[in-house]
Amino acid sequence: MHLKIAVLPGDYIGPEVMAATLPVLEACLKKAGHTLEHSTHEVGGAGIDRYGKALPDSTLAACQAADAILFGSVGGPKWEKLPPKEQPERASLLPLRKHFKLYANVRPGLLLKNLIDTSPLRPDRIPQGVDMVCIRELTGGLYFGAKSTQEIAGGDIEAIDTMVYRKSEIERITDVAIATARARRKHLTLVDKANVLETSVLWRKVVGERVKATAPDITLTHMYIDNAAMQLVLRPSQFDVLLTENMFGDILSDEMAVICGSLGMMASASLGLDLNRHGKGYGLYEPSGGTAPDIAGQDKANPCAQILSAALMLRHSFGLEAEAKSIERAVEQTIAAGIRTADIAGGGPAVGTRAMGAAILARL
Ligand code: IPM
Ligand code: MG
């Protein structure tokens, strides 16, 4: 198979973790007899610096011509003074998600056995470890509803974000969650705020009907967002698949990531409606964490989330399950061998980004 991908490293640690990832991806594909064609493009702050635009036209065109996007992370203090609408996150990542209709964000939360002591939770809270997936709706809700800020009577200022959801949007993400649960322990938890929010009332109704009509084999549980945030630290092993709207999913997935050891471990896949040249889902693959400006340029960042995102890309956009697994196994074995970046070293000896990448590559 010939894989054509657009590589968008972005800002701060983005290029560092990407540099550790590409050799792993290349080696994995070469070994399996595939060919990889990739080109690298500016996005986020890097796009602003070079082209005056967080999502340069040339970058978008390259994404369009590719089968999938491997994305690093964008944003940081350098561009924080720009007007909000021009900041890297809002002006590149969100338009990319919208442009490619990437409505389904899949974030696997797997606490590796060897990382149990890296979790902030006491080991007795996670006797069976944690193995869950967050399915986050990614192109609706507060992120994309109408926004405004205006002066109002009395010299006061009012800012508005709008949460909008349509039945059709909820149905399509529910289908992704059902398929995910079906391949796992068949337990789906819908997280909402149906005691307060109108959109949540619609979510409950639509998800309930959808599961009843199309997935009687799936057990559906409802949980309010505040309770879910608490249950996640209390007893994370009760969760299999979490389904939730955009903003709740953003918050819960960070919580899930640290419970699983570190934000530096959590990959993510953003999937849409379009198919690529291989007849598989076009997608964007990125670490769930940010650009970590505090450790950028120091060879300290954990490349695992980026490397595991590349594995998700092989699985979802190319159907290369065995290859995806081989990368996931190499990451697991590296960690089991005690080779760790500082975020997962628990105060013990740590290696840098490059050495971590090289150790994973060596185990492929
Ligand atoms: C994430 C990030 C983004 C989000 C930011 C960078 C806009 O936090 O992917 O979780 O909020 O979706
Ligand atoms: Mg986030």
Per residue in 212-236, pLDDT (tens digit) is 999 999 999 999 999 999 999 999 9
Pocket lining: 89 vs ligand 1, CB cutoff 6 Å = yes
Q: Assess whether 226 carries a catalytic annotation.
A: yes
Whose Cα sits closest to atom 1 in ligand 1? Answer: 288
Pocket lining: 137 vs ligand 1, CB cutoff 6 Å = no
Q: Which candidate in 117, 217, 226, 294 is catalytic?
A: 226
- Predicted confidence at residue 127, as pLDDT, reads 83
Whose Cα sits closest to atom 11 in ligand 1? Answer: 250
Per residue in 84-123, pLDDT (tens digit) is 999 999 999 999 999 999 999 999 999 988 888 889 999 8
Q: Assess whether 274 carries a catalytic annotation.
A: no
Pocket lining: 11 vs ligand 1, CB cutoff 6 Å = no
- Predicted confidence at residue 129, as pLDDT, reads 86
Whose Cα sits closest to atom 7 in ligand 1? Answer: 89
Instruction: Report CA 122 to chain centroid distance, whole Å.
Output: 25
Query: 250 CA to middle of ligand 1, Å?
Result: 6
Q: Which candidate in 147, 254, 280, 299 is catalytic?
A: 254
> Which residue has 């409950």 as its token pair?
204
- Residues lower than pLDDT 70 in the chain: none
Task: Indicate the top mutation candidate among 12, 85, 90, 93 to test ligand 1's pocket, ranked by most ligand atoms within 8 A of CB.
Answer: 93
Q: Assess whether 193 carries a catalytic annotation.
A: yes
Pocket lining: 92 vs ligand 1, CB cutoff 6 Å = no
Among the bound ligands, name the one nearest to the CA of residue 268: 1
Long-range contacts of 19-23 (CB under 8 A, 24+ apart): 19/353, 19/354, 19/357, 20/303, 20/306, 20/307, 20/353, 20/354, 20/356, 20/357, 20/358, 20/360, 21/70, 21/303, 21/306, 21/307, 21/309, 21/310, 21/357, 23/357, 23/361
Which CATH number describes the domain made up of 1-102+266-364? 3.40.718.10
- Predicted confidence at residue 251, as pLDDT, reads 97
Query: 4 CA to middle of ligand 2, Å?
Result: 27
- Predicted confidence at residue 113, as pLDDT, reads 82
